[in-house]
Amino acid sequence: MHALPITERNRANARHSTGPRTTEGKSIASQNARKHGFTVLSHRILANEDPAAYEAFENEIIEVYAPQSDRERLAATEIARCRWALRRFDDAETALWDICFTSEGQSTGQTLAGHCLSAEGDRVSTAIHSMELLTRYRRPWDRRHQDAIREFDRARLDRTREERLALAKQREARQQQRRTAAKMDHTTNAHQAAPASAHNRKTSSASGFVSSPDTENHETAAYCHELAVSA
């Protein structure tokens, strides 16, 4: 019988199988299950890829799409990442065709037909299976790429709609200001014209009463009649 309880034995065994402890060792161990990297769905620069090359590629994509908002820029960056990943599948497919279906002096179709009719059918089956795997691994990136393009189009459409709405509000505000200013000018002119018109009418009436020709003629006739009676 064992002298130690089972829990103590488990702890003792665990001390000898804890895995890597350093940061570098953990980073290496985390990649133990990876064989080719085609199933990776998150963006990353692989060990055999140049980060500067990806940066230049991303800048080129962003320059082509010319994003004008943060949302558009995020979508353009996602497009660049997807296209970078899709380039890997293009390179893998080209390499597979070069290795399996290329013979000197023959076209690709002739080489493929020759392999299918020869004893190298297993080789062709393996190559076709590899093509199917590439297609299957590529499909999620294709969908992700299309989603990124649609998101960019939606972001640009929403931004354009918001800009047009803002311009329409600005035009309406300016028109309202002009209407308000015109109304105020009309009211001010009406107030200024009313006293002047009343003053003119009063002056005209007073002047007519003092110097009316009919009044002067009537007074002259009355004075002449008085003189005649006196005589």
Q: How far apart are CA 228 and CA 66, in angstroms?
A: 111
Q: Which residues contact 57 (CB under 8 A, 6 or more apart)?
A: 80, 83, 84
Q: What is the mean pLDDT of the chain?
A: 76
Using one digit for the tens of pLDDT, what is the confidence trace for 103-143? Answer: 666 676 666 666 565 545 565 567 677 778 888 889 999 99
Using one digit for the tens of pLDDT, what is the confidence trace for 158-173? Answer: 999 999 999 999 999 9
Q: Which residues contact 9 (CB under 8 A, 6 or more apart)?
A: 2
Q: How far apart are CA 225 and CA 48, in angstroms?
A: 136
- Residues of the chain where predicted confidence (pLDDT) is lower than 50: 35-36, 119, 208-212
**pLDDT value, residue 85:** 92
The residue behind tokens 């000018």 is 185
**0.75 exceeded by the pTM?**
no
Residue type for position 43: H
